Copies of this chain bind each other. A is one copy, B any other.
Amino acid sequence: MSKTSARTSKLHLGFVGLGRMGLNMAARLHHGGISCVGYDANPKARAALRKLGATAAASLRELVTALPTPRAVWLMVPAGVVDSVLDELLPLLARGDCVIDGGNSHYTEDLRRAERLRKRGVDAMDVGVSGGVWGRERGYCLMIGGPKPAFKRLEPVFATLAPGVAAAPRTAGRKGKPDMAEQGYLHCGPNGAGHFVKMVHNGIEYAVMAAYAEGFNVLKHANAGRAAQESDAETTPLEYPEHYRYDLPVGEISELWRRGTVIGSWLLDLTAEEMLQDDELKAYAGRVSDSGEGRWTLQAAIDEGVPATQLAAALFARFSSRGNALYANQVMSAMRHAFGGHAEKPAGGK
């Protein structure tokens, strides 16, 4: 990444929050030539940063003091504590400084906080970061919101964190110097735009995951016709059991689809990796958590008046996987009992 060397020689960054994600990002920045001063309340996290050769401050105050002005401080802390970190940090900053929220804040929080910072002459930026535990090596995709001048000033930081154009073949028709989107970071718009785009990214992720999950489930049950056919009035018998007598190698299929198909993707790559260990996936009970962005994307779709049926179904499948459809199901069983005298079948059947 020689092109950034001239710029990065000048750039210093404060980095608050050295958890799993933050420490990896700080490491990538440090190795990329950005001068990083990190802080975390946990001394072990600070020690880990020092081990990488970067500077760890013992307090927010020390971190702020160590930075040349105008300062830039990147927060990589849980969404729930951003405001309290700002409470402590903001009085230490000066006009022209900049605070970047790289965590999982809802974009409407960005709008509110930008207003708060603006009153003190401090710029706010929001950055949706994708890359997970793989990003240190693979680079982080950065979806960025906030004032353009602040973005310009910090561009070397973003370029260093991003995967770079070589991470994927160039799109047909793209020529010349790669633009920022091709390098893996993008100024998406004013405050909140970065987290908005990241939110939708996660919404898509939920639905794509559910799409694969359903498909593998259909493959897994391709032997449904082998089961002894129950024949009571509460069960729909398979009309053609002879059509469902396949014991498909789902793990090998997840590997197979990685090459040459329409559905190749990184999520599929990961699925193949998991299934290589055990394609019965016995390590998992199937209780799927969700962490906010899927819910927020759905709310955005509702507000905008655009359909998001896939996303809704994917989110709700997760809710159901955690047992939250129980009462709804009881209501249906009760109705069936009431109008048809139907009794529920015991567990174990289909």
Contacts and interface: CB of A to CB of B under 8 A. Distances in A.
A168 interface: yes
Interface in A214-260: 214-222, 224, 231, 233-240, 242-244, 246-249, 252-253, 255-260
A139 B259 contact: yes
A7 to B, nearest CB: 20
A243 to B, nearest CB: 6
Contacts of A303: 224, 238-240, 243-244, 295
Nearest to A295: B302
Interface string A251-291: 01101111111111111111111111100010111111111
Given A130-B262, A220-B327, A272-B171, A339 B204 contact: no
A283 B335 CA distance: 12
A44 interface: no
A190 B246 CA distance: 8
Contact of A215 (B200, B248, B272, B312): B200
A176 interface: no
A22 to B, nearest CB: 13
Contact of A216 (B237, B265, B327): B327
A133 B339 contact: yes
A316 B218 CA distance: 13
Interface residues of A, number: 170
Nearest to A272: B171
Contact of A200 (B219, B236, B315, B323): B219
Contacts of A295: 236, 302-303
Interface in A182-221: 182-186, 188-190, 192-193, 196-197, 200-205, 207-221
A292 interface: yes
A174 B274 CA distance: 12
A309 B316 contact: yes
Q: How many copies are assembled? A: 4
A349 interface: yes
A298 interface: yes
Q: Which residue among A78, A132, A270, A307 has the maximum number of chain B CB atoms within 10 Å of its CB?
A: A307
Contact of A288 (B143, B314, B332): B332
A95 interface: no
B260 A205 contact: no
B260 A140 contact: yes
Q: Which residue among A202, A218, A255, A297 has the maximum number of chain B CB atoms within 10 Å of its CB?
A: A218
A268 B263 CA distance: 10
A289 B344 contact: yes
A204 B209 contact: no
Interface string A295-314: 10111111111111111111
A210 B108 contact: no
Given A131-B260, A186-B249, A203-B218, 5 more contacts: A135-B260, A141-B257, A186-B252, A263-B266, A313-B313
16 contacts: A131-B260, A141-B256, A168-B269, A171-B269, A203-B215, A203-B218, A208-B211, A211-B310, A214-B311, A217-B301, A240-B303, A267-B335, A286-B332, A286-B344, A317-B320, A320-B320
Closest 8 CB pairs of A and B: A286-B329, A265-B265, A207-B211, A141-B260, A307-B316, A270-B338, A312-B312, A204-B215
